Amino acid sequence: MSQIYKFIIKVSEHGQRLDKFLTQKIEGASRSLIKKWIDKGAVKINEGVSKCGHILHKGDSVVLDQPPTEPLDVLPEDIPLKILYEDGEIIVVDKPVGMVVHPAPGNRHGTLVNALLYHCRDLATTDNPFRPGLVHRLDKGTSGVMIVAKNEQALRHLSKQFRKRRIKKVYHAIVYGEVPRDEGMIESSIGRDRVHRQKMSSRTQKGREAHTLYRVLKRGEGLSYVRIEIKTGRTHQIRVHFSEMGYPLVGDDIYGGKNKWTQIKSQVLASLLATLDHPLLQAVELGFIHPKLNENMLFNSKLDSKFNEILSYMKGAE
């Protein structure tokens, strides 16, 4: 279904580019989606079709006739879901380790989105047809709480909460090394690694600010069990921050955790760590304001069995 937006440019908006202006005004729409609409002729300034880089002036009339969403080319699949909460606006799930969140080239099946479409049928449309309803994501190897929007209003409301950093995001992780400080804050700018483009790094000139709060819950056997809260949500943020601090996540072969198990004195524990095929990181808590009820909501994910198994070998106090 199409929707029409109308704006009259104010004095404070004079001099802005058209695409930047609309990205700020249309919640949940990325700049790439706005560009696509402009290129299709869906945006008119003073009744004339314009371009992305058009500079707006006070009093200009801007009308967006939002085009209908392109048909979704993702197949619903009958995959079991652990649902923590569901109503007409949102669905909150506990994503398992090993499940990819959304389809991508070469990986079209078995994802969380495939499972959600079978369960819900309809999810909020986004600028990417392979990511319906998604306002955030977790890596394949990260388990835990995720929220998904069922309609566009919920999507816009939740996207704004993420953008304004009003979402509570708590993770638990086990890292190599006994972190000396009981708690702390890691701050840096994170961007694409200049050499290894598949990795992220704080050693870049084009990074975005990232803030990671942590508190050590337990130490022992050359490991630390850590509670982590992030205010920003940069790609691989936790993995990068702890790796660059010298304490890579257990099971994280990409960011310094490869073969670290050989340094563990306990042979039984070392053998257990050697079998891990994913970083030991779990999104254990997610808090937000319900997009329609306007109530605070908080959901928890029960700690994975692999965490408990490793924690049983650690001799430090809770």
Considering the domain architecture, whether residues 151 and 175 belong to the same structural domain is answered as no
* Residue 73 in domain: no
Q: What is the 3-state secondary structure (H, E, C) of the chain?
A: CCEEEEEECCHHHCCCEHHHHHHHHCCCCCHHHHHHHHHCCCEEECCEECCCCCECCCCCEEEEEECCCCCCCCCCCCCCCCEEEECCCEEEEEECCCCCCCCECCECCCCHHHHHHHHHCCCCCCCCCCCCCECCCCCCCCEEEEEEECCHHHHHHHHHHHHCCCCEEEEEEEEECCCCCCEEEEEEEEEECCCCCCCEECCCCCCEEEEEEEEEEEEECCEEEEEEEECCCCCCHHHHHHHHCCCCECCCCCCCCCCHHHHCCCHHHHHHHHCCCCCCEEEEEEEEECCCCCCEEEEECCCCHHHHHHHCCCCCCC
- pLDDT for the residue numbered 153: 94
Q: Are 35 and 52 in contact (CB under 8 A)?
A: yes
Whether 60 shows a pLDDT value over 60: the answer reads yes
Q: At how many degrees (to 10) do helices 18-25 and 31-39 cross? A: 120
* Residue 74 in domain: no
* Residue 317 in domain: no
- pLDDT for the residue numbered 2: 62
* Residue 115 in domain: yes
Question: pLDDT over 90 for what percent of the chain?
Answer: 69
Final residue belonging to a domain, choices 115, 144, 164:
164
Considering the domain architecture, whether residues 149 and 264 belong to the same structural domain is answered as no
Considering the domain architecture, whether residues 102 and 160 belong to the same structural domain is answered as yes
Considering the domain architecture, whether residues 281 and 208 belong to the same structural domain is answered as yes
- pLDDT for the residue numbered 37: 86
Model confidence pLDDT, tens digit, residues 158-168: 999 999 999 99
Considering the domain architecture, whether residues 101 and 133 belong to the same structural domain is answered as yes
Long-range CB contacts (within 8 A, 24+) of 37-42 = 37/64, 37/66, 37/67, 40/67, 42/66, 42/67
User: pLDDT averaged over the chain?
Assistant: 91
Q: Does residue 60 or residue 40 have the better pLDDT?
A: 60
Residue 187: phi and psi, rounded to 5, are: -130, 130
* Residue 139 in domain: yes
Whether 197 shows a pLDDT value over 80: the answer reads no
139 is catalytic: yes
Q: Is the dihedral of CA 159, 298, 92, 253 positive or negative?
A: positive
Model confidence pLDDT, tens digit, residues 129-143: 888 999 999 999 999
The CATH number assigned to the domain holding 50 equals 3.10.290.10
- pLDDT for the residue numbered 49: 80
Tell me which of 187-191, 197-201, 237-241, 290-294 is least confident.
197-201
Considering the domain architecture, whether residues 132 and 154 belong to the same structural domain is answered as yes
Report which residue type is found at 28: G
Considering the domain architecture, whether residues 187 and 55 belong to the same structural domain is answered as no
- pLDDT for the residue numbered 28: 60
Q: Does residue 20 or residue 153 have the better pLDDT?
A: 153
Whether 299 shows a pLDDT value over 90: the answer reads yes
- pLDDT for the residue numbered 71: 54
Tokens of 5: 């937006």
Give me the mean pLDDT over the 267-289 stretch.
96
Whether 43 shows a pLDDT value over 50: the answer reads yes
Whether 193 shows a pLDDT value over 50: the answer reads yes
Considering the domain architecture, whether residues 297 and 216 belong to the same structural domain is answered as yes
The CATH number assigned to the domain holding 192 equals 3.30.2350.10
Whether 54 shows a pLDDT value over 60: the answer reads yes
Considering the domain architecture, whether residues 177 and 222 belong to the same structural domain is answered as yes
Final residue belonging to a domain, choices 164, 189, 207:
164
* Residue 242 in domain: yes
Model confidence pLDDT, tens digit, residues 68-119: 765 557 889 999 999 999 999 999 999 999 999 998 766 789 999 999 999 9
- pLDDT for the residue numbered 105: 64
- pLDDT for the residue numbered 317: 42
Whether 275 shows a pLDDT value over 50: the answer reads yes
Whether 309 shows a pLDDT value over 50: the answer reads yes
pTM confidence score:
0.76
Considering the domain architecture, whether residues 111 and 130 belong to the same structural domain is answered as yes
Domain membership of residue 278 as a residue range = 169-287+293-311
Catalytic annotation, pick one of 139, 193, 253, 304 = 139
CA–CA separation, 318 and 314 (whole Å) = 10
Final residue belonging to a domain, choices 146, 164, 182:
164
Whether 154 shows a pLDDT value over 70: the answer reads yes
66-91 burial: b if 16+ Cβ within 10 Å, else e: beeeeeeebeebeeebeebeeeebbb
CA–CA separation, 174 and 269 (whole Å) = 13
- pLDDT for the residue numbered 86: 97
* Residue 302 in domain: yes
* Residue 211 in domain: yes
- pLDDT for the residue numbered 318: 46
Whether 297 shows a pLDDT value over 90: the answer reads yes
Question: pLDDT over 70 for what percent of the chain?
Answer: 95
Q: Are 121 and 91 in contact (CB under 8 A)?
A: no
